[in-house]
Amino acid sequence: MNKKPDLPTNVEKLRHKLDSLRSSANAAPERSDLANFSAGLTSALDELQRQADELILAKESAESESRKYYELFEGAPDGYIVTDTKGQIMEANKAAGEMLSVPPENLIGKPFSHFIERDSRIESDKKLEYLLTSKKSIIQNLELRLIPREHVPFHASLTIAITTDTKNEPTGLRWLIHDITERKLAEVELASTVTRLAQSNAEIERFAYAAAHDLKEPLRTVSTYMQLLKRDEKSNLSQDGTEILATISDSVSKMISLVDGLLMYSSATSTDGKLEISKVPLSEAVSEAIDFNLIVVQKSPSETFLMN
């Protein structure tokens, strides 16, 4: 390739030639027109030199910006690929080459679709057609399975942006590729955990149902005998005995209510999983528990210790 002429050097050479012509013109008065022309051309060369200097500065600034973006392109942790509108790879960074197990320079000219798993190609083709024909300029979080050369396929999330010319016509596509293998593995593990929890809940529900049924029968027996005692032995019971019998009867009734609630919970969770949530009057429950324990303490002959 021939080296392009150095504009500042050529300008300087032309300036030297003009200085030589000016000297010749000054030495020959009859050639004053040539001297005037030389002076005008010198002024034009000065302006050309100024513009050349500005052009050099702009070129250096553009090269600096280009190096900066190239370093960002190459150093990006995610894969970055530039293709034409048909998906033919034009550029690829280092991360993209590592993901696809192909050196970046060897990806140039290859269709990117060759690295998309067959089952995912239909979806990607539909998205690309929509992107190129709609007014949208970007598609985000397109999840596909990519196939590296001679390696195991992996899950990737793609962001595809369209590039346009000055007339807003599509000229190419930019592909940002993010490996989401770890996220997919976490999702599988989470789904497995949810399944195990559902199985555990089902076992708890079955146990609650069985336990409630097993508890309810003896409670009914106790309740029946309590009613018989009240009916047949009421006259033989002392006042303390009557109070104790009433407390036991209340406790049995509450226990039966708790068992019925347990059965209701088991039945509800085994059907639609929806429970009606209501407020629990804890103050009443605490008061009843205190009253019950006070009766026990008063009637117990043993020594009772209260601890703060």
- Residue keyed to tokens 């050099």: 56
| pLDDT bucket at 100, cuts 50 / 70 / 90 | very high
Q: What would be the CATH architecture of the domain defined by 186-299? A: Orthogonal Bundle (1.10)
What are the DSSP calls for 107-130, one per residue? HTTSBGGGGB-HHHHHHHHHHHHH
| Amino acid found at 230 | K
Residues 156-178, mean pLDDT to the nearest whole number: 91
d(CA 193, CA 199) in angstroms, rounded, equals: 10
The more confident residue out of 63 and 175 is 175
The more confident residue out of 248 and 28 is 248
CB 81 within 8 A of CB 112: yes
> Does 42 have pLDDT greater than 90?
no
> Does 294 have pLDDT greater than 80?
no
Q: What residues pair up with 138 in beta bridges, in sequence order?
A: 161
Note the pLDDT of residue 192.
93
CB 118 within 8 A of CB 146: no
> Does 6 have pLDDT greater than 60?
no
CB-based burial of residue 282 (10 Å sphere; 0-12 exposed, 13-18 middle, 19+ buried)? Answer: exposed
CB 160 within 8 A of CB 124: no
d(CA 119, CA 191) in angstroms, rounded, equals: 23
| Amino acid found at 189 | E
Q: What residues pair up with 176 in beta bridges, in sequence order?
A: 80, 159
| pLDDT bucket at 261, cuts 50 / 70 / 90 | confident
> Does 27 have pLDDT greater than 80?
no
User: 76-179, what's its fold?
Assistant: Beta-Lactamase (3.30.450)
> Does 148 have pLDDT greater than 80?
yes
Per-chain mean pLDDT for the chain: 78
Residues 212-217, mean pLDDT to the nearest whole number: 78
Question: Looking at the chain, which residues constitute the CATH 1.10.287.130 domain(s)?
Answer: 186-299
Question: Looking at the chain, which residues constitute the CATH 3.30.450.20 domain(s)?
Answer: 76-179
> Does 289 have pLDDT greater than 80?
no
Q: Which residues contact 86 (CB under 8 A, 6 or more apart)?
A: 111
The more confident residue out of 34 and 116 is 116
SS (H, E, C) 190-258: HHHHHHHHHHHHHHHHHHHHHHHHHHHHHHHHHHHHHHHHHHHCHHHCCHHHHHHHHHHHHHHHHHHHH
Note the pLDDT of residue 159.
93
> Does 38 have pLDDT greater than 50?
yes
